[in-house]
A and B are shown apart, each in its own frame.
Chain A
Amino acid sequence: MKEYWRSLEDLLPAEEATQEKKSSVVLSDSADSSKNTRRDFLKYFGFSIASAAVLAGCERPVKKAIPYLIQPEEVKPGTANYYASTFYDGAEMVPILVKVRDGRPIKIEGNDLCQMTGGSASARVQASLLNLYDESRPTQPTLDGNPIRWEDVDDKLTETLASWDDTKEFVILTPSIISPSTKKLLADFKAKFPFVIHETFDAFSYSALRQAYKQSFGKAIIPSFRFDQAKLVVGFNADFLGTWLQPTVFGRQYASARKLTEGQREMMRHVQFEPIMTLTGSNADERIPMAASDEGYCLNSLYLAIAKQSGLMVAAVKGPDVIDKIADELLACRGKSLVVSGTNDIGIQTLVVEINHLLQNVGQTIMVNSPVNLYQGDDTAYDALLARMEANKVGAVMFWETNPVYHAPLSSRTEEAIKKVPVRLAVQSQQTETALLCNYQLPAPHFLERWDDTELVDGVYTLTQPAIRPLFKTRTPQENLMAWAGFEGTYYDFIKLSWKENVYNSNLSKGKQFENFWKVSLRDGIVVDTKKSGETLTYSSANIASVMKNNSSAKSSNDLELVLYQSVPIGDGTLANNPWLQELPEPVSRVCWDNYVSVSPAFAALRGWSQGDVVDVNGLELPVLVQPGQARNTLAVAVGYGRSNAGRVASDLGKNVYPFVTLKNGHRLYTIPKVEAVATGGTYELAATQSHHSMEGRALVRETTIAEYLENPAAGNEMHEKVEKLHTTLYHEHEYKGHHWGMVIDLNSCIGCNACVVACSAENNVPVVGRNEVRRSHEMHWLRLDRYYAGDTDNPEVVRQPVMCQHCDNAPCENVCPVAATNHSSEGINQMAYNRCIGTRYCNNNCPYKVRRFNWYDYTGADTIPNNRVDPAGMTLDLKRMVLNPDVTVRAKGVIEKCSMCIQRIQDKKLTAKKDGRQLSDGEIKTACQQTCPADAITFGDMNDPNSKVSKLLKDARQYGLLEELHTLPSVVYLSKVRNKDKNKTLS
């Protein structure tokens, strides 16, 4: 029979097959497999189950948190450190405290040791923190676009300086230097290299103001203004609460002179003449729209009226009635009044100085003996510099945090002049338009990464200290100079030495050694040498006749004129690449993310324009915003927008109007006469956070006049009593055995500067949503400043109201949430459990104040679904996320969020008090909005403590709850606004 084989094993001889089997014994245990017992099976079974379980447990990649090898002395995980420092961006100087958590600066607060600011800070100061984490910052030095090492930069520059052709200048163009050490360093540098010329360039020019004081007092100064000492302030085109000079300081002074919370019987009166509705004008007791070109005429008339009554022999010229009335009022407040103008026109500023002199305000409200060192720039000097550049007399120019190509293009004259300079260095912490023209890019650190000092007013010193090591390969301009000049040591050593030699004296030391003094100064951040005072200046009359002649003495024609102004959030545009500032609504127009041309309602009606129509203004296309209160034939556009090279956020937002700026009498003039504007037929949607501007007769902001208030403190607030009488409920009321937190907002103090909004965003990780989302009313701010107009559209009265969660004791949101994600704390706070929220938005619908915010998209990156982020401002980049406050949850998509009354701050201070074994003291807890408020309009505290400031304010007859008639029992209480005007008699 044939033998069939089934497999090779069958075919092969039997021995071979067994041999092969044997050889594989080593490799596998198959030889023993026949011997496998039940016990083995169970073993293997058990092992595989166990290993499967273990493996399943190890599925995620292991991320190791590496502890510090050497624990830094100051860093305690979870505990914030505060470092005193100074904010200075070339415009405003504010002493600050930097909150640092685990090595990251996460919040800026005002330094409360500073008497001028009292611990407050403006919106821009608050927001400047985010510029530190700006991913668009220049990160390393380059030469002609190629990366280069700092050592090579030094070699090249040292060589350049060593082999310098002495016929040419080496120009260092800086913003106003307020640092005494830097000034000394520059002097040393100039001493070593005599061809070095230091020029000052301010982004926004105030040079006429300085020159006016030079004419009248012999020295180009900006005096200290004391709005708090004035009983009557008359402003001409000066937005001193928003942008002019030192808004944070002035805002504080202004509010303190108008407070009525401590039984004051008087408040400062404020009259404002202005072409556009500024933040300041909207706060004025009386506001008179005035074309910018009429300012000279108005001031001439005012001067004449005052001069005449002061006994100076001047020909009588009848001015407008309103000016005569103002003159009378001013004369009645001699020595207690203040006239200011924000126009960069030497004639106007000279006249203002003269008027104040006649009114004996100098030395009372205008302190010429303690000048402010801001804005040292002189436009005529800049003009001369350009001329020298054009004449090829400049061999090198170093742009030290200056950006003249953007801020003063002077119809591309600046650009052409710069191109003629062979060596161009950009020493800048941010991207700028000027840097594009430079061959050397030498990135500078952000101010939170470096050392510096300031002397704002003679004898007031502050220090700037780094709160973080430089994030990028940056070096301060000072260090550059020291390296190139071969000076020994670091700039820190230089400052210390300079303080030892110049600041440290017997008056300040109080017996302390210098080291000790230095440490205390560094801790405090501010040192005030009361004995040091400025030069005593005496008045010497200017040639007033010629000044007045130059000021147009008649009312202008009906030509259309364009006013360029700084908006409150963006200012001169230096910090424009900042999502917090871009998203901050302009306090008057409530528009963000763009600039626009504002027009008066009458003019808009005349031309048939409405909001959002695109018009062509002298070749620049801009959307229209109809602005009640604007002078009739005035168009106005904010500067600071249209940055072509500012970084990811600001580039190409809005339009740049700096090219319209011309020189008049050597000063940059921000009013452009005779412009043409035609509609293009296009439309553009502005991102406005408020579209309805009337209170519709509802008692939301309650107000009265000072006379009525003095007669009856509850004037304007009569409704409160009526509502209180009806106070009753079927349900049990909350019982607060411990604290009962409350907040009082004084509407009479609030100036609407919006600093609180940015402070809140920074403290509470509030998302930035971008222009498109704001257009769709998706903005996320927990705190907003409602602004309403009343009366005549040509010159309306303006009221403002900060609105955040009112923490109602009878909260409509709480009982509608199906999952109890929003509930009431035992201390009266309406709290959100983000983890519990499923996003039905019912609470938001039922909130009468509309303060709840829904995460419409994944704005923060906290969502688990991939690729769905809406983050136009790059806020979810790792670098920018460093700004997040680790004490506050980052909210995910689909969750409602809102003001928590800074619960993390409450908890922090409660724990501190508990650890110290003491009672919380009143005022210890400050909410972010309260802390930054220059006007001290917000007070937070325990309503259960009868001695707390809040409890005292609650006894004020001006207090009322917003929509109190709904019986929501809000824990946020408002104090009504009081205007210092006669109800029946107005100026105009």
Chain B
Amino acid sequence: MYVSPVREPLISGEKSYSKVTEDIYAPMTGKPGKLWFGGLTLALIALGFGLFSIFITVWDGIGTWGLDRTIGWGWGITNFVWWVGIGHAGTFISAILLLFRQKWRTSINRSAEAMTIFAVMCAGLFPLIHMGRLPLGFFIFPYPNTRDVWVNFNSPLLWDVFAISTYLTVSLLFWYMGLIPDIGTIRDRLKNGIQKKIYAFLSFGWTGSARHWARHESMSLILAGLAAPLVLSVHTIVSFDFATSVIPGWHTTIFPPYFVSGAVFSGFAMVLTLMIITRKAINLEDYITKAHLESMNKIIIATGSIVGIAYITELFIAWYSGVVYEQYAFVNRAFGPYWWAYWIMMTCNVITPQLFWIKKIRRSFAATFVISIFVNIGMWFERFVIIVTSLHRDFLPSSWSMYSPTWVEVGIYIGTFGLFFTLFFLFIRFFPVIAIAEVKSVLKTSSEKFIKKGK
């Protein structure tokens, strides 16, 4: 196959099929290192703290959070939106890039998808525990009952329930679909034992026959087709939580596209943060290369710029609307008591990603790592700014108030990091971080070895 000479190889080094398998399988064999144990312990401690904070919240009440009569949502929903946003990169990479036949996705899709699932799990926690009466949370499902009560289909919170649960299901299926051939590979490499039995069960009898491959391919395509609109719909619906309300700063039609691009933006940043560490930690530098980095950073520039334009549009529309409440909301964002949050958001989300226009920076792992963290912080503040600064000073000045989180809210946030990383550490130990089969499928067209030959 002809490969354009300007195309960078996606896999460096002299790789054969078996080498690929060995490289990627390596971190799963032998005793896990100290780094892994240390990381898992830290994650478990954070998770434990989070669980304790959740216990306090449910036992004593939402009063243990810093919310008040004016500010009904704070860190909880900020974290929810943030985590959902993080999740978006996985689906974007696996579904949309698959449909667009982007080969560079093969090295990163597995871990990005895993991240999606874990992030959505973290996100899903918040709408649950922010409820005042968690044990009655099942009321939110439209189940038939003798009391003739039904849910309110007008409420965006209900749409959220469907959107998030669909998203989690489809993402999980998609991820698992991709895993099946690799699980088969692992099964075949294992000697007898309980481990082999487990992987044999998980591989669903995968033999690698042509018929299996054909079905796998078509199923992947179908799921990609299902997941692609979800990338757009999930965060659109999350944005409806705000957009359909009357609160100045929330009541904005720009929210759906702005939230979706923000989500992809933050998701890519998070993938980068994790990937840069992982490739070093488990020696996958040959598979995750500067080419990958550059492609992802380009998406960050694109989505980051959309977000920046959205910010400026919001300001313009607030002024142009002539509505005093709307105007005040935006002046208050920039110059009110939470000015610092606004300017952190502006700096991290609008200014830092623009550095990627410089080739040196977008091809530097170190610089990308730093910027990706900035973007993560900036996107968290974006949600904080939208939620808290809009609520704390709305229509009637008599009710205006201030918000700061309590240790319980911080604890729950730390806890979600604990959950995320616990799952991530278990994932890199028990499943291949890179989709072995998919990388092999692009080996002959995009690896360093073959591209050189093509010359």
In this assembly, does A137 line the interface, its C-beta being within 8 Å of a C-beta of chain B? no
A681 → chain B closest CB, angstroms: 24
- Specify the main secondary structure of chain A where it touches its partner: loop
In this assembly, does B69 line the interface, its C-beta being within 8 Å of a C-beta of chain A? yes
In this assembly, does A696 line the interface, its C-beta being within 8 Å of a C-beta of chain B? yes
A870 and B63: CB pair below 8 A? yes
* Complexed CA–CA distance, A700 and B247 (Å): 16
A856 and B62: CB pair below 8 A? yes
A697 and B161: CB pair below 8 A? no
A960 → chain B closest CB, angstroms: 15
> Which residues of A214-265 are within 8 A (CB) of B?
none
Most buried by B among A773, A820, A850, A893: A850
Q: Cβ of A870: which chain B residues have Cβ within 8 Å of it?
A: 60-61, 63
- The residue of chain B having its C-beta at the shortest distance from the C-beta of A780 within the complex is B69
* Complexed CA–CA distance, A786 and B398 (Å): 6
State whether A842 and B398 are in contact (beta carbons under 8 Å apart), knowing that A816-B244, A818-B161 are contacts in the complex: no
B394 → chain A closest CB, angstroms: 7
- The residue of chain B having its C-beta at the shortest distance from the C-beta of A779 within the complex is B69
Q: Chain A interface residue count: which class? A: 35 or more
The 8 A CB mask of B38-80 against A (1 = contact, 0 = none) is: 0000000000000000000011111100111110110000000
In this assembly, does B151 line the interface, its C-beta being within 8 Å of a C-beta of chain A? yes
B62 and A854: CB pair below 8 A? yes
A596 → chain B closest CB, angstroms: 19
A803 and B398: CB pair below 8 A? yes
In this assembly, does A819 line the interface, its C-beta being within 8 Å of a C-beta of chain B? yes
In this assembly, does A787 line the interface, its C-beta being within 8 Å of a C-beta of chain B? yes
* Complexed CA–CA distance, A858 and B401 (Å): 23
Most buried by B among A840, A845, A846: A845
* Complexed CA–CA distance, A220 and B401 (Å): 51
* Complexed CA–CA distance, A842 and B158 (Å): 11
- The residue of chain A having its C-beta at the shortest distance from the C-beta of B159 within the complex is A818
Q: Cβ of B133: which chain A residues have Cβ within 8 Å of it?
A: 837-839, 892-895
A896 → chain B closest CB, angstroms: 8
Instruction: Report the stretch among A118-126, A193-201, A362-370, A686-694 that lies at the interface.
Output: A686-694
B324 and A846: CB pair below 8 A? no
Q: Cβ of A819: which chain B residues have Cβ within 8 Å of it?
A: 139-140, 149, 151-152
The count of chain B contact residues (Cβ–Cβ below 8 Å) is 52
B246 and A846: CB pair below 8 A? yes
- The residue of chain B having its C-beta at the shortest distance from the C-beta of A699 within the complex is B324
Question: CB within 8 A of B61: which of A779, A837, A841, A856?
Answer: A856
> Which residues of A881-896 are within 8 A (CB) of B?
892-896
Q: Cβ of A700: which chain B residues have Cβ within 8 Å of it?
A: 396-397
- The residue of chain A having its C-beta at the shortest distance from the C-beta of B156 within the complex is A816
B126 → chain A closest CB, angstroms: 11
A788 and B69: CB pair below 8 A? no
Q: Cβ of A696: which chain B residues have Cβ within 8 Å of it?
A: 324, 328, 397
* Complexed CA–CA distance, A778 and B325 (Å): 24
Q: Cβ of B397: which chain A residues have Cβ within 8 Å of it?
A: 692-696, 698, 700, 788
* Complexed CA–CA distance, A856 and B139 (Å): 20
- The residue of chain B having its C-beta at the shortest distance from the C-beta of A858 within the complex is B61
The 8 A CB mask of A788-818 against B (1 = contact, 0 = none) is: 1000000000000101000000001001111
Q: Cβ of A516: which chain B residues have Cβ within 8 Å of it?
A: none
- Specify the main secondary structure of chain B where it touches its partner: loop
> Which residues of A863-898 are within 8 A (CB) of B?
863, 865, 868, 870, 892-896
* Complexed CA–CA distance, A865 and B64 (Å): 15
A777 and B70: CB pair below 8 A? yes
* Complexed CA–CA distance, A895 and B135 (Å): 12
B152 and A815: CB pair below 8 A? yes
State whether A868 and B61 are in contact (beta carbons under 8 Å apart), knowing that A845-B247, A855-B132 are contacts in the complex: yes
B125 → chain A closest CB, angstroms: 15
* Complexed CA–CA distance, A963 and B150 (Å): 31
In this assembly, does B245 line the interface, its C-beta being within 8 Å of a C-beta of chain A? yes
Q: Cβ of B401: which chain A residues have Cβ within 8 Å of it?
A: 691, 777
The 8 A CB mask of B149-188 against A (1 = contact, 0 = none) is: 1111011111001000000000000000000000000000
- The residue of chain B having its C-beta at the shortest distance from the C-beta of A778 within the complex is B68
A895 and B63: CB pair below 8 A? no
A850 and B70: CB pair below 8 A? yes
Q: Cβ of B63: which chain A residues have Cβ within 8 Å of it?
A: 773, 776, 778, 856-857, 870
A894 and B62: CB pair below 8 A? yes
A884 → chain B closest CB, angstroms: 20
* Complexed CA–CA distance, A815 and B398 (Å): 25
Q: Cβ of A865: which chain B residues have Cβ within 8 Å of it?
A: 58-59
B73 and A845: CB pair below 8 A? yes
In this assembly, does A450 line the interface, its C-beta being within 8 Å of a C-beta of chain B? no
* Complexed CA–CA distance, A439 and B104 (Å): 93
In this assembly, does A667 line the interface, its C-beta being within 8 Å of a C-beta of chain B? no
The 8 A CB mask of B436-447 against A (1 = contact, 0 = none) is: 000000000000
B130 → chain A closest CB, angstroms: 7
State whether A816 and B132 are in contact (beta carbons under 8 Å apart), knowing that A695-B397, A838-B137 are contacts in the complex: no
A891 → chain B closest CB, angstroms: 10
In this assembly, does B400 line the interface, its C-beta being within 8 Å of a C-beta of chain A? yes
State whether A820 and B151 are in contact (beta carbons under 8 Å apart), knowing that A838-B131, A853-B69, A865-B59 are contacts in the complex: yes
In this assembly, does B391 line the interface, its C-beta being within 8 Å of a C-beta of chain A? yes
> Which residues of B373-407 are within 8 A (CB) of A?
391, 393-402
* Complexed CA–CA distance, A28 and B151 (Å): 60
In this assembly, does A31 line the interface, its C-beta being within 8 Å of a C-beta of chain B? no
B72 and A816: CB pair below 8 A? no
State whether A846 and B136 are in contact (beta carbons under 8 Å apart), knowing that A818-B152, A868-B61 are contacts in the complex: no
Q: Cβ of B131: which chain A residues have Cβ within 8 Å of it?
A: 838-840, 894
B157 and A840: CB pair below 8 A? yes
* Complexed CA–CA distance, A691 and B66 (Å): 17
A692 and B246: CB pair below 8 A? no
* Complexed CA–CA distance, A812 and B394 (Å): 14
Q: Cβ of A695: which chain B residues have Cβ within 8 Å of it?
A: 397
A278 → chain B closest CB, angstroms: 20
A850 and B69: CB pair below 8 A? yes
* Complexed CA–CA distance, A334 and B69 (Å): 51
* Complexed CA–CA distance, A870 and B61 (Å): 10
In this assembly, does A577 line the interface, its C-beta being within 8 Å of a C-beta of chain B? no
> Which residues of A954-968 are within 8 A (CB) of B?
962-963, 966, 968
B395 and A848: CB pair below 8 A? yes
B163 → chain A closest CB, angstroms: 12
Q: Cβ of A855: which chain B residues have Cβ within 8 Å of it?
A: 61, 132
The 8 A CB mask of B325-357 against A (1 = contact, 0 = none) is: 100100000000000000000000000000000
> Which residues of A674-710 are within 8 A (CB) of B?
690-698, 700
Most buried by A among B69, B139, B154, B394: B69
Q: Which A residues are within 8 Å of any B CB, using their own CB?
A: 690-698, 700, 773, 776-779, 784, 786-788, 801, 803, 812, 815-820, 836-842, 844-846, 848-850, 852-858, 863, 865, 868, 870, 892-896, 962-963, 966, 968
5 A–B contacts, CB within 8 A, in A order: A692-B398, A837-B132, A845-B73, A846-B247, A856-B67
Identify 9 new A-B residue pairs, CB closer than 8 A, beyond the known A837-B132, A849-B396, A854-B62: A692-B393, A693-B397, A694-B397, A698-B395, A815-B154, A836-B149, A845-B72, A845-B245, A870-B61
The 9 closest A-B pairs by CB, nearest first: A839-B132, A894-B132, A856-B63, A841-B72, A777-B68, A786-B398, A850-B399, A820-B152, A818-B157
Q: Which B residues are within 8 Å of any A CB, using their own CB?
A: 58-63, 66-70, 72-73, 127, 130-134, 136-137, 139-140, 149-152, 154-158, 161, 241, 244-247, 324-325, 328, 391, 393-402
